[in-house]
Amino acid sequence: MIESTRDPAPPTALAITYAEELGDAKTLSISPEIESVLGYTQAEWMADPLIWVKLMHPEDRDRVVVACAEANRLGQPFDATYRMIARDGGVVRIHDHAELVRGSQDQPLVWQGVMVPEEGQDETSYGSGE
């Protein structure tokens, strides 16, 4: 019998994909993984345009909101790591990356992003150095 020397494939991380309107950040779509990660349904997430900010950990909120506003102002990618408060009260660490999708004439259309829960970091790994 021949044994493989390869490491087994790592478990697949849940990734939450989303699309947002420009400016007001209204969610146009969000993947069903939002419920597995944070405990909120797609319908709940899309019904409340401020849910992302409301569920953000208070210690991270100002820093991340400023970074998001700056990305919107400059039309540059948004990239941040922050904590969210899940429905069950647990803290979920998220790495969020969004790109501005442009049309055929380079006009900005929508933000397309992915939020990936991070595991194995302690609370001290968060701060303004992202």
- Each residue's pLDDT tens digit, 24-60: 778 999 999 999 999 999 999 999 989 999 999 999 9
Answer left, alpha or beta for residue 23, where phi above 0 means left and psi between -120 and 50 means alpha: left
Going along the chain from its start, the domains and CATH numbers come out as: 16-120 (3.30.450.20)
- What pLDDT does 129 receive? 40
pLDDT along the chain (130 residues), means of 10: 48 83 87 96 93 96 95 94 97 97 94 91 42
> What DSSP line would sit under the chain, residue for residue?
-PPP-SPPPPPPPP-EEEEE-TTT--EEEE-THHHHHHS--HHHHHH-TTHHHHHB-HHHHHHHHHHHHHHHHHTPPEEEEEEEE-TTS-EEEEEEEEEEEE-TTS-EEEEEEEEEEE-S--GGG-STT-
Q: What is the pLDDT of residue 48?
A: 92
pLDDT of 26 reads 86
What pLDDT is attached to residue 103? 94
pLDDT recorded at residue 34: 97
